[in-house]
Amino acid sequence: MPPNGLEEFREVLSDVKSITTWAIGGTVVAPLADLVLHVGAPWPNGVPVVTSLVELASMICVFHFWRSKNQKQLKTRLVITLLVLFVSLFGYLFLIDSYTFVNPATSRRFAKGFCVLPEIETMIPTQIANPEAALAGNEYREEEVWTAGSITGVRIVLLMTWLLVFSSLAAFIGTFVIAQRRRRPRVRAQGGVRSPLH
């Protein structure tokens, strides 16, 4: 009897887990590394949990909407998700390098802004070289250097880009698993013998 949709999704998740355990330690577990490495989006505090939930939602959507696609359509989606993964990854690396700073006292990463406060702007370049130089004199409080609106804007963009990296990674791996599972019956049929192990 063929498996129902929920059983098949469980099998796909099992395949994804086996691949990602070998490759990166688990797709859903990977963002939890941020708790140690501090490379994730600096806002909000629960980013690893949010990321894992977004990844799971991406996997569910891939399975629900793409599992009936043929091999050609899956191949196209595989290429697209891979491109989105690379673009979002390099975009995130650029953003985290350009628009975040690490507080040396806590080793925590914080978002900068893109609009400097007027009182700080008047000090550049006569008293300080750039806005980042004002951080040390303000106890590394970003709200004392940049406007609140620009800090919030950077936080949101960083969070969206971070989530896009991991959701596209989950979609890429999920699409790959579905495509490989789709090939199994055809490979067996070409061999003419059904393996007793399956």
Strand partners, 116: 146
* Residue 32 token pair: 């939890």
Ramachandran angles phi, psi of 88, nearest 5°: -70, -35
Find all residues with CB under 8 Å of 63, minimum gap 6, and list them: 8, 9, 12, 174, 178
Taking each helix axis as running N to C, give the angle between helix 47-66 and helix 5-23, from 0 to 180 degrees, rounded to the nearest 10.
Answer: 130
3-state secondary structure of 135: helix
DSSP 159: H
Q: How many CA atoms lie within 13 A of 118 on its CB side?
A: 0
| Integer-rounded Cα radius of gyration of the chain | 23
Supply the DSSP symbol for 124.
T
Q: Of 29, 34, 41, 27, which is closest to residue 161 (Cα–Cα)?
A: 41
Please, is 167 exposed, middle or buried when counting C-beta atoms within 10 Å of its C-beta (0-12, 13-18, 19+)? Answer: buried
The model's pLDDT over 80-92, given as tens digits with 9 standing for 90+, comes to 999 999 999 999 9
User: How far apart (Å, rounded) are the C-alpha atoms in residues 40 and 158?
Assistant: 9
Which uninterrupted H or E stretch holds 109? Answer: strand 109-111
| Alpha carbons 12 and 170: distance in angstroms, whole number | 12
Q: What is the pTM of this model?
A: 0.78
Q: Which stretch of DSSP H or E encloses residue 101?
A: strand 100-102
CA distances from 11 to 24, 33, 54, 174 (A): 19, 26, 20, 11
**Stretches in the chain below the pLDDT threshold 50:** 1, 21-28, 187-189, 192-198
Question: What SS3 state is found at 52?
Answer: helix
